[in-house]
Amino acid sequence: MAISNASNVKKRSDKTSPLTQAEVDGNFQEVRNVINDATQLENDYDQYVNDNDQRVSNIEDGVYGVLEVPLSGSDVTLSGTQLNYTEFKLTGTLTTNVSVIVPTDERTYTIINEATGDFSVTVRTSAGSGVAVPKGQTFVVRCDGADVVRGVDSQRTIYVGSVAELEGMSLAEGVNVYLTEDGRAGEFVVKTGTPPSDPQKGIYIVLANGNYAERVGASSGVFKVEWFGVAGSGDETTKIQAAIDIAQGFGSLGGILVFNPKDYRYTSLNVTSRAALMGYKNATRLIKTSLTGDGVRVGFQVGRVFGVAITNIALAAEGTHTGGALLAVDNAGSFSAEDMTIGSKFPGTSFGGISLNNVSQSYLSDIVQSDGAGIGFAATDCLDIYMNDSRFDANGGSGVFIDTASGVYFSQVTAFNNTGVNFDINATVVSPVVADTNGFMFFTSCVGDTSAANNWEISNLRDSVFTGCWGSTQSGTNTSAHGFFVAGCQDLDFDSCKALNNNSDGMWILGSSSNINVTGGRYKGNGQEAGSTEQNGISIESGCSAKIESVSGRENLGAGLKIASGATSVELYQNDFTGNTVAPYDIAAFPTYFNESDNKTGQSLDVASASILNPPKIGDVFRVTGTTTINGINGQYQGRNLTLIFTDTVAVGDSGSTKLAGIFNATADDTLVLISDGTNWYEKSRSAN
């Protein structure tokens, strides 16, 4: 509006002629008119501003705003001013499947489905096809003039219900996609070019236009097995293997493949390069469906495979597995297995548990294996194997089998109730041990208990230490079942070990074993099975050498210590072999070298005089009773000192192997001190008291 009255104000024609009163009054009126016109103009402007603000508000709430569309049990048609909006929030509670019907005009809609109820919502034209919008999701859809199809909004994330649907789309580079398919859900971004191989489409999905969608976050190297379509239903070998292949192909260190707490079935799986498989302990189970061959195979390549790790996964067999191991590792290094359950009778029986062949510098911890038809744990041709806090129980073969290995470090490993040997440590070479084929092993606080055979069978081993280990009790009637069976070994130390209540000997040293050192520990109650030929605490056979020190060997059904004829060297220090059924000692013949010092025998000091005096083979002070003339003395071994204290009048002759300074006519309380060179007795001194 213009100010129309401003030009009517009277002006002076000259600067000296005054206006008349009428002119003044007229001018005042004209000024008032101008002011009124200005006020109206201001009001008109304010109205314009208000109208413009309303238009802006309408635009914001309309074309670019969100319209709430309530739904219930019938179709809804969008029309009129509703079409000023581009985003539509669907609300309400569905009581049946409904459609949201839009015009056939070509345009894009953003549909936000927040309606409740387990029914579907389809956006369509009245006569054409449409797009189902899942509950709780946001879809961009487009009417192409006849039908409603999925649309693209470069400023938004596109929600796609399945891999197959995404494969059928043509999307530009940079578009964000969210896959909502169960198990495979996740965010993707569209890229150009050729993606890495991914046959199960867990990370890379090729689109209809040649671009591909790459899963966001996969570059971290952590993958979920469900991304690859693994659902825990039926045999999923192909899908699981594809997931493993992606993980082991990730970078120089490999990726981590995560399994959910459920059962997964497979025939055989192969890990051929660096990767980690991770699950939930006792809740993630890989169940082998085929009944022969290995289950999870690590390595088995021409080149050595390093850096494979398996954690918190249980391995089992579907039926009765008749061959192979559930976990087999071959030609590998830096392998690790932790927190695993293997076998355990669910839902079938495995054959072997874990098998390592040509494996080095590897670590196993918290392994629980049981109920296999074969061997629980086997290591062959291995170097530097570390294991702790594990157990191998109730297998049809051995619990632990180690063949030709060097550098084995076991701590707190238990083998219990196995049909075979609990701990079978063996080399394929014959005695005596050669080179380094089986040596440098260290077992600490390991338990071999209730085997049907030997609890520990140690053959052809050298330079090894057993500390605080236990070999006790058999489950059957095997008359040749020992706590520790030691054959063909060299330089072994047994420190503070225990062998209790075995069918046969607590420890049997044989096969030309040499330098076997037994220090501390208890060898008690052995020889439990009637008919056993060996029922001693410790037996040392021909050709063997040993040092026994600070050992308690009591309550055995044979002797505390047996030394067979032909043993080459035996040293005894501060042992207690009292309280055994047969005797403290059973010594058939003294070794080439024999030393005993401060040993408790529990035997009487009294020896009856006889033509050939027979003092016990262990001990150095005896009291001779009776008056029968003594013409010879048994019990000699090199270095043995013998002090005889006489209680009666008796003559000791100077003849044969008894070399005296003349006949000794002893009376009560007289003494005779002798020393042996292994063949003869020589007088050191005599006293008449």
| Averaged pLDDT, groups of 10, the chain, 689 residues long | 44 50 60 58 56 46 72 95 90 96 91 92 95 85 90 71 94 88 93 95 96 93 96 96 96 94 96 96 91 95 96 92 93 97 77 95 97 94 96 96 94 97 77 58 97 95 96 92 96 98 97 97 95 92 96 96 94 93 88 80 86 89 95 89 95 94 96 94 95
| Residues 342/350, Cβ–Cβ less than 8 Å | yes
Task: Sort 618 into a burial class: Cβ within 10 Å, 0-12 / 13-18 / 19+.
Answer: buried
**455: number of CA atoms within 13 Å, CB side?**
32
Q: What is the identity of the amino acid at 310?
A: I
Task: Supply angle C-alpha 507, 512, 516, rounded to 5.
Answer: 50
Pairing of strands 462-467, 439-444: parallel
Tokens at 116, concatenated: 């409740």
Closest by CA to 260, choosing from 236, 277, 246, 279, is 279
Residues 6+ apart with CB under 8 A from 164: none
Phi, psi of 41 (to 5 degrees): -65, -40
Pick the CATH number of 398-602 from 3.40.50.720, 3.20.170.30, 2.160.20.10, 3.40.640.10: 2.160.20.10
Tokens at 149, concatenated: 């199809």
Phi, psi of 163 (to 5 degrees): -60, -40
The sign of the torsion formed by the CA atoms of 45, 50, 54, 56 equals positive
Q: What is the identity of the amino acid at 463?
A: D
Closest by CA to 458, choosing from 480, 490, 435, 434, is 490
**Residue 50 pLDDT:** 60
Tokens at 271, concatenated: 């890990």
R_g over Cα of the chain: 48
Strand partners, 276: 256, 309
Concatenated DSSP letters of 50-90: HHHHHHHHHHHHTTTSEEEEE-SSS-EE--GGGGG-SEEEE
Tokens at 244, concatenated: 């493993």
| Residues 408/383, Cβ–Cβ less than 8 Å | no
**Residue 299 pLDDT:** 97
- For tokens 């996609």, the residue is 177
Longest dimension (CA), the chain: 184
Closest by CA to 125, choosing from 151, 104, 141, 95, is 104
Burial pattern 373-409, b for ≥16 Cβ within 10 A else e, equals bbbbbbbbbbbbbbbbebbbbbbbbbbbbbbbbbbbe
DSSP for residue 605: S
Strand order in the sheet with 87-91: 66-70, 87-91, 107-113, 138-143, 148-150
Dihedral Cα 338, 339, 344, 350, nearest 10 deg: -20
Tokens at 19, concatenated: 């206006």
Pairing of strands 606-608, 621-625: parallel
| Preceding amide of 195 cis, omega within 30 | no
Q: How many Å apart are CA 407 and CA 359, to the nearest integer? A: 11
Pairing of strands 325-333, 314-317: unpaired
Q: How many Å apart are CA 592 and CA 571, to the nearest integer? A: 11
pTM for this model (two decimals): 0.75
| Residues 562/533, Cβ–Cβ less than 8 Å | no
Helix, coil or strand: residue 458: strand
Q: How far is CA 14 from CA 10, 161, 644, in A?
A: 12, 90, 169
Q: How many Å apart are CA 189 and CA 649, to the nearest integer? A: 111
- For tokens 């309606």, the residue is 115
| Preceding amide of 347 cis, omega within 30 | yes
Task: Supply angle C-alpha 45, 48, 50, rounded to 5.
Answer: 110
Distance of CA 502 to the CA centre of its chain: 33
- For tokens 């927190």, the residue is 339
Strand partners, 369: 342, 392
Phi, psi of 42 (to 5 degrees): -65, -40
Q: How far is CA 299 from CA 77, 304, 672, in A?
A: 63, 7, 73
Concatenated DSSP letters of 264-283: EEES-EEE-SSEEEE--TTT
**Residue 33 pLDDT:** 66
